[in-house]
Amino acid sequence: MSRYVVVSDDPGLPGRLQTAAAGHLAGDVHQWQGSRLPVRPADVRSQLERPADLDVLILGPGMPLDLALALAAAFDTEFPDVAVLLAARPDPDVVLSALRAGVRDLLEPDAGAAEIAALLHRAVTSAARHRTSPLNQAQTKVTAGRIIAVVSPKGGVGKTTVASNLAIGLAKSAPHGTVLVDLDLQFGDIGSALAITPEHSVSDAVHGPARRDTMVLKTFLSAHPSGLYALCAPESPDTAEELTGEDVTHLLEQLASQYRYVVVDTAPGLSDTTLAALDKASDFVFVSGPDVPGVRGMRKELDVLAELGMHPLKRHMVLNGADFKAGVSLRDVETALGTSVDVVIPHSRAVALSTNQGSPLLNGTVRGPATKALQKLLARFVAPIAPPRRFGPRHRVGA
pTM of the model: 0.65
What's residue 394's pLDDT?
A: 45
3-state secondary structure the chain: CEEEEEECCCCCHHHHHHHHCCHHHCEEEEECCCCCCCCCHHHHHCCCCCHHHEEEEEECCCCCHHHHHHHHHHHHHHCCCCEEEEECCCCHHHHHHHHHHCCCEEECCCCCHHHHHHHHHHHHHHHHHHHHCCCCHHHHCCCCCEEEEEECCCCCCCHHHHHHHHHHHHHHHCCCCEEEEEECCCCCCHHHHHCCCCCCEHHHHCCCHHHHCHHHHHCCCEECCCCCEEEECCCCHHHHHHCCHHHHHHHHHHHHCCCCEEEEEECCCCCHHHHHHHHHCCEEEEEECCCHHHHHHHHHHHHHHHHCCCCCCEEEEEEEEECHHHCCCHHHHHHHHCCCCCEEEECCHHHHHHHHHCCCHHHCCCCCHHHHHHHHHHHCCCCCCCCCCCCCCCCCCCC
Summarize the confidence of residues 5-34 as an average pLDDT.
88
What's residue 383's pLDDT?
A: 61
pLDDT surpasses 60 at 132 = no
What's residue 137's pLDDT?
A: 43
* Percent of the chain residues past pLDDT 70, beyond the cut: 91
User: How do residues 330-358 score in pLDDT, each as one tens digit?
Assistant: 999 999 999 999 999 998 899 889 888 98
Instruction: Name the pLDDT band for 70 (thresholds 50, 70, 90).
Output: very high
Q: What are the chain's domains?
A: 2-134 (3.40.50.2300), 140-379 (3.40.50.300)
pLDDT surpasses 90 at 57 = yes
Summarize the confidence of residues 24-36 as an average pLDDT.
86
pLDDT surpasses 60 at 89 = yes
